[in-house]
Amino acid sequence: MKLSKLAAAFATVALFFAGVAISAEANKTTVRIDKKVTVDGKTLDSGKYTAQWTGDGPSVQVTLLRGKDTVATFAAQIKQEATPNPADAIGTTDGPDGSKQLSSIYPSGKRISIQLSDSGSANSSGS
């Protein structure tokens, strides 16, 4: 009897950690930036980045990583999209100085976009 209770407790803990791992993976995407963009006051070079977001509801906190190094952290809004994004992509807007500013992230296969809180919607372009 004790063995079956112990096995049940172990299975419950294992399922909990599996759910946490799946949840963490669901809030993460790889993004390829093809040109220099500015985000959170920092200029990012072209390359491969990982975007991770945390938070409930539409308001989230996004951490942008290059390898294991955090390069930017910013507030954003999750927006529901009508169809899944066909590929990982970003949207940019033109900054006042002519630079490109990151305005949105589109995770591949998901029906959401991540809209940076302080970005405008004019002159938006995908990459």
Task: Please tell me whether the overall predicted TM-score, pTM, comes out greater than 0.85 for this model.
Answer: no
Look up residue 58 and give its two tokens.
């539409």
Domains of the chain, residue spans: 29-126
- Alpha-carbon dihedral angle through residues 64, 66, 71, 77, given to the nearest 10 degrees: -10
Please report the pLDDT score of residue 117 as a whole number: 81
Residues 6+ away with beta carbon under 8 Å from 91: 102, 103, 104, 105, 106, 113, 124, 125, 126, 127
pLDDT in tens, 95-107: 888 899 999 999 9
pLDDT digits (tens, 9 = 90+) for 8-28: 555 454 444 444 433 445 799
Contact of 115 with 81, CB cutoff 8 Å: no
Helices then strands, counting H and E runs in the chain, come out as 1, 10
